[in-house]
Structure 1
Amino acid sequence: MRLALAQLNPLVGDLSGNTRMILKACEQAEAGKADLLLTPELSLWGYPPRDLLLQPERLNQQKEVLDQLCRDLDQRHSDLTVLVGAAIAIQDGRRPALYNAIVQVSRQGWRPVAHKQLLPNYDVFDERRYFRPGERSSSLVLDNGLRLGLTICEDLWVDTELQRERLSGPDPVAELINDAPDLLINLAASPFDASKPSLRQQLAARAAVRLNCPVVYLNQVGGNDELIFDGGSFLLNPKGEHLLQLPFCKEWFEIWDSEPSHQPALPLPLPLPPSDPRGLLFRTLVLGVRDYASKCGFKQALLGLSGGIDSALVAVIATAALGPEAITTLLMPSPWSSRGSIDDAKTLASRLGIASQTVPIASLMQSFGSSLAPALDGEPQGVTAENLQSRIRGTLLMAVANQQGQLLLTTGNKSELAVGYCTLYGDMNGGLAVIGDLYKTTVFALCNWLDSDDSSRCRDDFGLASQGELVGEAIRTKPPSAELRPDQKDSDSLPDYGELDALLKLLIEERRSGQALIAEGFSPALVERVERMLRRAEFKRRQSPPLLKVSPQAFGTGWRLPIAAA
């Protein structure tokens, strides 16, 4: 059998456009004389379609595009069979009224052949709102007699030894043992976090050994809102060793021939994840920015450039994603901005080849102060005055972005967002928080990597200078500071970032209690302080722009704490 794998980047809700994408893959598969074409989970819809699934007209449109797909195959007298991810209606008057399904499509017509059994309802996933779980595992016998075991994404995640948590419910892999499939197929839409590439491979390898057959894992690629799907599809032999590996963070099409003489010679097992996780993280963030901008209709982006490390990293990512000609930066120095920060910002913009404009805000600060003096019985002081600077900058950035039709990128990191070290309607203004899921220590690590020789291949792939500094030593080594008052340092208001980030990871990603952490030896005063800041900042996070999720637990749709709570 010649098997075609289409690692696609669909646009959520664009059933017609996604069908055209699948048709293009069909043409490639036919040209390569493939027998079977695989597409990712919910490939007609893009993942996650969320409440678009509740619109009856879209479900009617799905039938139309599936019918058209069959007609197009028939007009070309194609013998190709295609497996497509779709949402199939259940006509029994109960809700949810859909299956997350695999549909078999050919010139003879289309029919559902598998229903997803394990429906994730944790973190960013909410599938039980829309789908009903399938009742049994499914096999599909092709005309050539080959038996395919069919699973959808979470149906493969059934190994309690490998997973931190496993959904309650059946074991779809175990149910296929008696069917003795010749090949197990898993169509997926699995978003990125750093641990997943290796974990997916391990889960698939266990399934291959249990069923004594090859396993194909086909993942969606591309950014959809806060989620970034990293692709990285692969095919394993019955021993769990790699026969085929597709790239990460790229749309890709590949044909695999089951005849041993036609199989590529790859080292077994192929190392997963890629040897440098920082490179994969950078590529994932670039993909997230590129797709968020393009899928929302933006061709240009704007950000405020301060000379600090956060805005520097965002500038590099945005330049790699959209190209230097599409990036504009504003430098908005106040009387407290150091000469070094201004020079560092200008040098970075020049190094990246991006446009920069300088708009001093001293006169605006004076105007705000004098205007507020009657209401405050004196000019603003302390945090109020500091926040005014941030809000002046946020207003200027929004005005420029509005006027020029640009996507405004915020530059705050996860550490700041966690403890509320950010200003509503100020530095939080924008349409996308690029590094809102990166702790400050990760920001430093990624910038250090970007300025090292290890990043040269990745930089070259994105048209960035492959030699020399990008971020710059001056930016990487200066003490972090918001520069909102004379000689201000982040350490004046926050614990050391190394201590803070270690504690935040435990509180946020592992949901550990403060009492448990104190019992393990953390300073009670530090734990109580950080817990208090984390809890009190919830109202800010609720009003923040969407961020690119790259960790197991990000702020956003998967973080659902109340604002008014004990």
Structure 2
Amino acid sequence: MKIYLAQQNYHIGNFESNVQKIIVAINKAKADKADLIVFSEMSVCGYPARDFVEFSDFINKCYDAIDEIKMHADTIGVLVGSPARNPNVKGKPLFNAAFFLYEQKILAEVHKTLLPTYDVFDEYRYFEPAFEWDVVKFKGKKIAITICEDIWNLGNNPLYRVCPMDLLMHQSPDFMVNLSASPFDYTHDETRKAVAKANVAKYQLPMFYCNAVGSQTEIVFDGSSLVFDKYGNLCKLFPAFKEAVEGVILNNDGTIKSSVLEPYSPIPEPAINDGTLDENLNTHEIYDALILGIKDYFVKMGFTKAILGSSGGIDSAVVLALACDALGSENVRAILMPSPYSSSHSVDDAVALSKNLNNPYDIIRINDVYESFLHTLEPVFNGLPFSLAEENVQSRTRGNLLMAIANKFGYILLNTSNKSELSTGYGTLYGDMAGGVGVLGDCYKLQVYALAKYINREKEIIPSHIIAKAPSAELRPNQKDSDNLPDYEVLDRILFQYIENRLGPAEIKAQGFDAAIVDRTIKLVNNNEYKRNQFCPIIRISPKAFGVGRRVPIVGKYLS
């Protein structure tokens, strides 16, 4: 049996575009005389559609799309993902479903059993779990069809009380198919591969795993679809962060007519890390994820041009380089806004960077605007000493200027704040925290440096002085980040334990970190939730990003 997987980039709610992509892939598979083509989870409408599925009209459009697709499923079996109505009086009104189309009819409808409600997932809000489990009979084969989370309930600590594949095994399936929308994070690809392999090892069946690709606001899907033979040999690995429609031949004995990419190795495989921050882990994947995140945010929103403040610092330099790669240098405008406290080398570094990238840039000195603000505020400030208020006037001046230019010329402002800054509140609301999308908001400062080195892997794009100099906001004379924050080598590792690993202060201190620094760091994180709650969407690259995947109360006192 020749089986195709269609790893495609869908646009949530753009039914016309999604359906046309699906039809093109079906026609390609048919031209190659394929028997079956598999698409990813919720491929018809895009994933995650969230509250869109609460609109009856949205679900009607899903069914209209399936009706159009099934007319092309004449000589080929087609598996597509879509919401499906629950005809029962009890339960939620929808299922997360896979529709098996053949001979221009719906041959079968399979429902997702395990509905994740952790991190970025909130599926039990919308869907009813499956209550029937049957293989699908097709061309003399029995197929065990599951949807994403359904294959993740293995191991010593299962998250759910049932395992769909266990329920399907009583019907003696010949192979497994999984329609997935599994998001990227820099620890996830090997884990995902191990989960698929664990299913193969347990059930001794070939696995066809089709994952989504593309970015949906903050969530990036990397694709990396998989095909395993019944012995657990990896026979097909689809490209990461790219669309691909490719097929393999499944032999009757459960082997794949293909060379083996990775022979079976015992499970569990080595852990991706030991629970500590490795700032150099999968930097190339993080880079590709951020590029895709920027590109899809602009393309799917109908934007074409970006603007950002270029300070001569490491964060804005990395964002500028990423944006130029994602959107084209000619479409990214850098604005240099030196203040009375900006060093001359910062301007020189920012200019050199833009010349290396060949992107347009402007220099707008904010001295006069800043002094005008101070003069206007003088009667109210009433001679009080220079403080954070005057520092932040500079940042908000820059934010106003950037937004004015963005409004005038139709740019989208890219935010350059990193995760270390957002964690500790080291940023100015309505100033350097402004933006349409946060590019580095899920990258710790140490990871930003790793990205800079990766960008310079072949030639110097980011001037070496930007990477080497001590980071500074330059809002007062001789200011350094270290004046306000612990050294990033320490800070980032404490933040990782608290945010990613969810360890409390006593547990973090037990790892050898200074008690006072741990207490201060955690207090900063908790006390600045109100700032993050007003922040723009952040491109997610870690196992625990700020935004929809981390929900803590703004006014909470826990550990503060």
Label 1:558 to 1:524 Cα distance change in 2 as closer, same or farther (>3 A). same
Q: Secondary structure of the residue that 1:103 maps to in structure 2? A: strand
Structure 2 CA distance, aligned partners of 1:268 and 1:436? Answer: 35
Shift of 1:379: 7.2
Question: Is 1:527 equivalent to 2:518 in the alignment?
Answer: yes
Question: In 1, Cα distance between the equivalents of 2:511 and 2:100?
Answer: 54
How far apart are the structure 2 equivalents of 1:300 and 1:65?
32
Paired position in structure 1 for 2:243: 251
Corresponding residue SS for 1:223? strand
Is contact 1:226–1:549 with CA below 8 Å preserved after alignment?
Answer: yes
Q: Are the equivalent residues in 2 in contact too, given 1:241–1:270 (CA < 8 A)?
A: yes
What is the letter of the counterpart of residue 523 of structure 2? R
String of CA shifts for 1:157-214, please: whole Å, max 9, x gaps.
Answer: 11235xxx64222112222322222211111001001121101111111111222111
**Alignment pair present for 1:331 and 2:348:** no
CA distance, structure 1, for counterparts of residue 408 and residue 69 of structure 2 = 42
CA contact (8 A) 2:108 2:136 kept: no
Please tell me whether the aligned partners of residues 79 and 100 of structure 2 are also in contact (alpha carbons under 8 angstroms).
yes
Task: Tell me the distance in 1 between the aligned counterparts of 2:408 and 2:24.
Answer: 38
1:466-481 equivalences in 2 (<5 Å): 467-481=458-472
* Closer/same/farther in 2, CA of residues 490 and 166 from structure 1, 3 Å limit: farther
Q: What does 1:256-271 correspond to in 2, within 5 Å?
A: 256-259=248-251, 263-269=257-263
**Residue in 2 aligned with 1:115?**
111
Matches of 2:159 and 2:181 in 1, distance apart? Answer: 17
1:53 counterpart residue number: 53
Matched residue, 1:125: 121
- Alignment of 1:153 with 2:148, yes or no, is yes
Q: Does 1:288 align with 2:293?
A: yes
The counterpart of 2:547, out of the listed 543, 556, 561, is 556
Sequence identity of aligned pairs in percent? 39
Aligned residue number for residue 26 of structure 1: 26
Distance 2:326 2:133 in 1: 41
Task: Give the secondary-structure state (helix, strand or coil) at the position aligned to 1:488.
Answer: coil
Aligned pairs (5 A) from 1:29-48: 29-48=29-48
Shift in CA distance, 138/360, structure 1 to aligned 2, threshold 3 Å: farther
Choose which of 213, 231, 236 in structure 1 pairs with 2:205: 213
Post-superposition Cα deviations, 1:1-47, rounded to whole Å, max 9, x if no partner, equal 11111001100112232111111111111111111010000101111
Whole-angstrom distance in 2 between the partners of 1:173 and 1:92: 24
2:261, 2:507 → 1: CA distance?
Answer: 45
TM-score (norm 2): 0.94
Please state how far the C-alpha of 1:112 moved relative to its aligned partner. 4.3
Of 455, 467, 474, 1:483 maps to 474
- Amino acid in the other structure paired with 1:107: E
Alignment correspondent of 1:4: 4
Confirm or deny: 8 A CA contact 2:236 2:261 kept in the other structure.
no
Q: Is the 8 A contact 1:137 1:150 kept in 2?
A: no
Contact 1:40–1:219, Cα closer than 8 Å, also in 2:
yes
Partner amino acid, structure 2, of 1:537: N
1:205–1:239 Cα contact (<8 Å) kept? no
Tell me if the contact between 1:99 and 1:115 (Cα under 8 Å) persists in the aligned partners.
yes
**Aligned partner of 1:157: which letter?**
W
2:86 aligned residue (62, 87, 90) = 90
Corresponding position of 1:140? 136
Q: Partner of 2:214: helix, strand, or coil?
A: strand
Structure 1 partner of 2:434 = 429
Matches within 5 A, 1:165-564: 166-259=158-251, 263-269=257-263, 277-378=282-383, 381-452=386-457, 467-564=458-555
User: How far apart in 2 are the matches of 1:267 and 1:411?
Assistant: 39
Question: Do the aligned partners of 2:77 and 2:100 also contact (CA within 8 Å) in 1?
Answer: yes
**3-state SS, counterpart of residue 101 of structure 1:** strand
Contact 2:41 2:211 in 1 (8 A): yes
Once the two structures are TM-superposed, the CA of residue 362 in structure 1 deviates from its matched residue by: 0.3
The residue identity in structure 1 corresponding to 2:428 is T
Distance in 2 separating the partners of 1:30 and 1:379 = 76
Whether the 8 Å CA contact 1:13–1:49 is kept in 2: the answer is yes
C-alpha displacement at 1:259, in angstroms?
4.1
- CA gap of 1:326–1:373, structure 2 versus 1, over 3 A, is same
Aligned to 1:458: none
Cα-to-partner distance string for 1:356-407 (whole Å, 9 max, x where unaligned): 1111100000000001111221378210011110000000111111111111
Q: Which amino acid aligns with 1:34?
A: A
Separation (CA, whole Å) in 1 of partners of 2:390 and 2:101: 63
Q: Distance in 2 between matches of 1:441 and 1:349?
A: 23
Amino acid at match of 1:60: N
Say which SS state the counterpart of residue 71 (structure 2) adopts.
Answer: helix
Task: Look up the equivalent residue of 2:539 and give its one-letter code.
Answer: L
d(CA) in 1 for partners of 2:512 and 2:540?
30
Report if the CA contact (8 A) 1:181-1:211 is conserved: no
Range with bigger deviation, 420-429 or 193-202: 193-202
Give the secondary structure class of the aligned counterpart of 2:215: strand
- Superposed displacement of residue 447, structure 1: 1.1
C-alpha distance in 2 between matches for 1:2 and 1:519: 55
Cα distance between partner residues in 2 of 1:267 and 1:60 = 42
5+ residue gaps, structure 2, are 273-279
Are the counterparts in 2 of residues 113 and 138 from structure 1 also a CA contact under 8 Å? no
CA distance in 2, matches of 1:338, 1:429: 23
Matched length: 543
Following superposition, the deviation at residue 257 of structure 1 comes to 1.4
Letter in 2 for 1:123: D
User: How far did 1:262 drift?
Assistant: 8.0
Matched letter for residue 514 of structure 2 = S
Q: How many Å separate the matches in 1 of 2:237 and 2:188?
A: 15
Task: Tell me the distance in 2 between the aligned counterparts of 1:107 and 1:178.
Answer: 28
CA contact (8 A) 2:233 2:260 kept: no
CA RMSD of aligned residues (A): 1.9
Question: Does the residue aligned with 1:138 lie in a helix, a strand or coil?
Answer: coil
Distance 2:214 2:385 in 1: 46
Code of the residue aligned with 1:399 in structure 2: it is A
Shift of 1:65: 1.7
**Whole-Å Cα distance in 2 between the matches of residues 406 and 187 of structure 1?**
37
For 2:436 and 2:264, the matched residues in 1 are separated by 39
Taking a change above 3 Å as real, the CA distance of residues 483 and 138 of structure 1, as seen in their structure-2 partners, is farther
**Quick one: distance in 2 between partners of 1:297 and 1:39?**
25
Name the amino acid aligned to 1:406.
Y
| Code of the aligned partner of 2:520 | R
Q: Structure 1 residues 132 and 302 mapped into 2: Cα distance closer, same or farther (>3 Å)?
A: same
Rounded to whole Å, the distance in 1 between the matches of 2:281 and 2:63 is 44
Does the CA-based 8 Å contact 1:118-1:167 persist in structure 2? no
